Amino acid sequence: ATPTALMVGVGRGGQLGILIKGQDALEASGVIDTIVFDKTGTITNGELALSEVKAVGNCTPGELLRLAGAVESGSEHAIAVAITAAARRDGDLAIATEFRSFPGMGAAAMIDGRRVLVGSPKFFTEEGLTYPAEVEAQIRALNADGKTVVLISAGGHLEGFIALTDTVKESAKRTVSDLKALGLRTIMLTGDAAGPASVVAREIGVDEVFSEMMPTQKSAAIQRLQAAGHNVAMVGDGVNDAAALATANLGLAMVQGTDIAMKSADIILVREDLSAVTDAVLLSRQTLRTIR
């Protein structure tokens, strides 16, 4: 490879808001034929709004929000940011200690001697917590409406749930169709439930969607594509995307994402506009053509 062609690629990227970390990233990636997107914060704006705060246990909706906000103050997930902000607008947060976050699942902390969990229904099932069929039906209806639902428990008892809505980035649909027109296979991988995942997938027109994907499953899915002979680019922003970004032939992180995502990626996209992804794919193709 000629170093000058690579340097030109890196320089051109900088002008487009595509920060390429190492010169070899463009060359080593080969010709990308598959592109994998994360959902929350990558395809969507990741600025969630609370649409329902429903108490089903012993506390009022206000108390439920106060508990959830306190637990979430220890997490940097978009859901956590939205819940904590809503709780702070409502009043003071409960005092929490022993924060733990579970990437792709939820968060936990101790409040007044009880362990409070906030997270996906899948997380609750894995933690051995059960919830009534009536709640399950409500979750299903909210999911079908495109809403993400997180459950809240205290001391092992379900206290309620919060439904959240997100919005798809204006540039998402166009970017997916541009990438498809370039011959790429487009895939969305999300830790979110099937309902909200398929609402977004349909809206933007990706070829395939996989939901309830844990961080390790995201990277395993990329490995399977690679084993089948594909060169895969991954676009993500979260802690839950870090392993997948590192596994992909070309990892692209959104600049407003988490530090670990940016550390794991080859390229940082400074523009929030997803057309930067198309530009990065084109740039990598041009650079490869020049050096070969």
Which residues are designated catalytic?
Answer: 38
Closest CB to ligand ADP: residue number: 191
Q: Say if strands 250-254 and 232-236 run parallel, antiparallel, or are unpaired.
A: parallel
41 binds Mg ion (CB under 5 A): yes
Residues 6 or more apart whose CB falls under 8 angstroms from that of 15 comprise none
Q: Cα 30 from chain centroid?
A: 25
Residues 6 or more apart whose CB falls under 8 angstroms from that of 111 comprise 67, 70, 71, 94, 95, 96, 97, 154
Q: x/- string (CB under 6 A) for ligand ADP, residues 225-264?
A: -------------x-x------------------------
251 binds Mg ion (CB under 5 A): no
238 binds Mg ion (CB under 5 A): yes
Piece in contact with ligand ADP (CB under 6 A), picked from 15-23, 73-81, 136-144, 257-265: 73-81
Query: Using CB under 6 A, which residues numbered 10 to 69 contact ligand ADP?
Result: 38-40
Interacting partner of 69 out of ligand ADP, Mg ion, none (Cβ under 5 to 8 A depending on kind): none
Question: Can you tell me the distance from the alpha carbon of 12 to that of 42, in angstroms, rounded to the nearest whole number?
Answer: 23
186 binds ligand ADP (CB under 6 A): no
DSSP E strands in the chain: the ranges are 18-20, 34-38, 49-55, 96-102, 106-111, 114-119, 148-154, 157-165, 185-189, 208-210, 232-236, 250-254, 267-269
Q: Which residues bind Mg ion (CB under 5 A)?
A: 38, 40-41, 237-238
Q: Which residues bind ligand ADP (CB under 6 A)?
A: 38-40, 72, 75, 77, 79-80, 101, 104-107, 118-120, 148, 150, 190-192, 238, 240
